């Protein structure tokens, strides 16, 4: 019985050696195999039946790449032009997902009528949406808020008459273009149109 078991193990061992030799014989004349072996040796790799892994050397070192730090908030400063001169100041938050980047900015603003005796001031939330994670290029925007409006009364000959004061909704939609001018700072040109005391506006803004 012991001799039989020893004989079986001997046959299995010889069979395993034979199969290894046959595998090497079948591949040693294969040009792709030879090319792979030569390449693997040149790249200091070890071959084990078609599987390769990099053999570390003394000069190898591990380089840790610091993850990109993207800002989660931003400051906003803008000048309204063309229709009614004005100024906007705000602070916002940046939200990212797999398809877009969104800025939600809370803004206080004031506009002066210039040649018109109109003054507006108010607060609104501005939502900028970018396809680019880098927040540059074209973007869409919408605003929602509330304005205080003062219309100074001017009578015949320039005399003062009763002025009008009232609250007015601030709801608008627009389109803009963002230029990156620093690591996390941008210059933008945008225009919007909607239901607000100033029907339309063109804005030059800085975000940082």
Domain layout of the chain by residue ranges = 2-54, 73-207
Better-scored residue on pLDDT, 167 or 4: 167
Residue in the structure block whose two tokens are 């993850």: 67
Buried/exposed 18-51: b ≥16 CB within 10 Å, e otherwise: eeeeeeeeeeeeeeeeeebbeebeeeeeeeeeee
Percent of the chain exceeding pLDDT 90 equals: 47
Residue 110's pLDDT is: 95
Element (H, E) at 165: strand 160-180
Q: What pLDDT, on a 0 to 100 scale, did the predictor assign at position 182?
A: 93
Of 47 and 112, which is predicted with more confidence? 112
Question: What is the pLDDT, as a whole number, of residue 38?
Answer: 43
Q: Read off the pLDDT of residues 42-51 as tens digits, 9 standing for 90 and up.
A: 444 444 444 4
At residue 175, does pLDDT exceed 90? yes
Nearest alpha-carbon partner for 183 in 137, 136, 151, 143: 136
Please give the Cα distance from 51 to 23 (Å, whole number). 14
Q: Interhelix angle for 31-42 vs 2-28, to 10°?
A: 90
Q: Round the CA-based radius of gyration of the chain to a whole number and report it.
A: 36
Strand 86-96 vs strand 51-54: parallel, antiparallel, or unpaired? unpaired
User: What fold is seen in the domain 73-207?
Assistant: Porin (2.40.160)
So what's the pLDDT on residue 90?
98
Average pLDDT, whole number, for the chain?
77
Phi and psi angles of residue 26, each rounded to the nearest 5 degrees, phi first = -70, -30
- Sign, CA torsion 151/153/158/160: negative
SS3 6: helix
Per residue in 25-70, pLDDT (tens digit) is 444 444 444 444 444 444 444 444 444 445 555 555 555 555 566 7
Percentage of residues of the chain with pLDDT beyond 70: 62
How far is Cα 125 from Cα 194, in angstroms, rounded to an integer?
Answer: 14
């Amino acid at each position: 019985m012991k001799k039989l078991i020893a004989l079986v193990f001997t046959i299995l061992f010889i069979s395993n050696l034979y199969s290894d030799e046959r595998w090497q014989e079948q591949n040693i004349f294969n040009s792709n195999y030879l090319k792979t072996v030569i390449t693997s040796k040149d790249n200091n790799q070890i071959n084990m039946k078609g599987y390769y892994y990099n053999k570390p050397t003394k000069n190898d070192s591990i380089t840790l790449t610091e993850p990109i730090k993207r800002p989660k908030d931003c400051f906003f400063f803008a000048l309204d032009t063309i229709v009614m001169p004005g100024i906007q100041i705000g602070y916002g938050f940046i939200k990212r997902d797999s398809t877009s980047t969104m800025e939600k900015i809370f803004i206080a603003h004031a506009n002066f009528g210039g040649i018109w005796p109109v003054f507006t001031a108010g607060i609104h939330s501005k939502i900028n949406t970018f396809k680019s994670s880098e927040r540059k290029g074209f973007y869409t925007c919408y605003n929602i808020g509330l304005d205080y409006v003062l219309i100074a009364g001017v009578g015949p000959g320039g005399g003062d008459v009763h002025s009008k004061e009232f609250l007015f909704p601030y709801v608008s939609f627009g389109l803009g273009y963002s230029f990156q001018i620093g690591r996390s700072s941008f210059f933008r040109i945008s225009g919007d149109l909607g239901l607000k005391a100033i029907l339309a506006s063109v804005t030059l803004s800085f975000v940082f």
